[in-house]
Structure 1
Amino acid sequence: MKQMTSNSIKQQSGLTLISWLVVIVFLLFQGVIAMNIIPVYITDSSVKKIMETLPDDIKARETTTKGLKVLVAKRLSINSIYTIKPDHITVKKGHGENIVVIEYEPRGKLFGNLEYIVSFKHEARVKTR
């Protein structure tokens, strides 16, 4: 009886071929998602840095709302961020400050008819003189 138990344990160790294929397909799927989504978040990190530097910028404080929108668009262009169009940038005049909002949704294909949409919204308040 003991011999049979030890033999059956030796035979049952490890994954079957089908189990390995399922694991490999799952890991490949996760890799494809990561390769498509990670660049979107890297781009958003650059947008966030641009928005964080606006309140401390002297040029941003001294310009008009239209000039502020142009300034943000130029900085995006300098950082090679072409997915954000001028329509995604909004500048509102507040009490003693300008409010800059960038709201955009990058979209892309994963594979086949499977796509992704990621929404981002960043806001910066720039004191005016």
Structure 2
Amino acid sequence: MLTTTKKQQQGFSLWGTLILLALIAFFVTILLRLYPVYYEYFSVSSIMDRIEGEQFATKSEIVKRLTATMQIDNVRRVKLDDFDIKKTKTGFTVVLNYEDRVVMMGNIDAIAKFNKQVETSSR
């Protein structure tokens, strides 16, 4: 018959607790470093969704609208150079294609790639 003592069944040891805390700290660090990148992408995505329903006569109108809205929403990581605006038969195609690099710790970086495309109509 197998006998166990109370000492063997006490739960987490000090080392187990330290490892758990280290893992929690690691994942919280990742979350805090990547959150601003994704928050800004969702802001720009929302801007693009808003211009999708609008009508524009020229490419410069789209650029002005993007510039003004990005400034109001305090978008800093995405630049106008990351947008590609092309004239189509029915309007314009606005494509956002960029990547963002975030230093995680030491010489380890995380790279997030984003791509979104919307169609607008012309007047």
TM over 0.5: yes
In 1, distance between residues paired with 2:72 and 2:122? 24
- How far off its partner does 1:71 sit? 1.8
Could you tell me whether the CA contact under 8 Å between 2:56 and 2:91 is conserved in 1?
Answer: no
Following TM superposition, the consecutive aligned residue runs of length 4 or more in structure 1 with deviations greater than 3 angstroms are none
CA contact (8 A) 2:40 2:77 kept: no
Letter in 2 for 1:54: I
Shift of 1:99: 0.2
Task: Indicate the RMSD between aligned Cα atoms, in angstroms.
Answer: 1.6
- Post-superposition Cα deviations, 1:18-50, rounded to whole Å, max 9, x if no partner, equal 221111111100010011111221111111111
Match of 1:27 among 24, 27, 32: 24
- Give the drift of 1:55: 2.3
- Cα distance in 2 for residues equivalent to 1:91 and 1:72: 11
Name the counterpart of 1:86. Answer: 80
Considering only CA atoms, is the larger Rg found in Structure 1 or Structure 2? 1
Residue of structure 1 in register with 2:3 after alignment = 5
Matched to 2:119, the amino acid is R
Q: Is the 8 A contact 2:101 2:111 kept in 1?
A: yes
Partners of 2:24 and 2:12 lie apart in 1 by: 16
Match of 1:38 among 35, 38, 47: 35
Show structure 1 runs of 5+ residues with no match: none
Structure 1 length-normalised TM: 0.85
Report which of the two has the higher share of helix: 1
Q: Name the CA distance, whole Å, in 2 between partners of 1:88 and 1:112.
A: 28
1:42-101 superposed Cα distances (whole Å, 9 cap, x missing partner): 1111111111111223xxx23311331232122111110011111101101111120001
- The AA in structure 2 aligned to 1:79 is D
Identify which of 11, 14, 22 aligns with 2:11.
14
Number of the residue aligned with 1:56: 53
Distance (whole Å) between structure 2 residues aligned to residue 71 and residue 121 of structure 1: 19
Q: Secondary structure at the match of 2:109?
A: strand
CA drift at 1:109: 1.1
% identity of equivalent residues: 26
**TM-score with structure 2 setting the length:** 0.89
Q: Tell me which residue corresponds to 1:103.
A: 97
How many residues of Structure 1 are paired with residues of Structure 2 in the alignment?
Answer: 122
Query: CA contact under 8 A between 1:69 and 1:89: conserved in structure 2?
Result: no
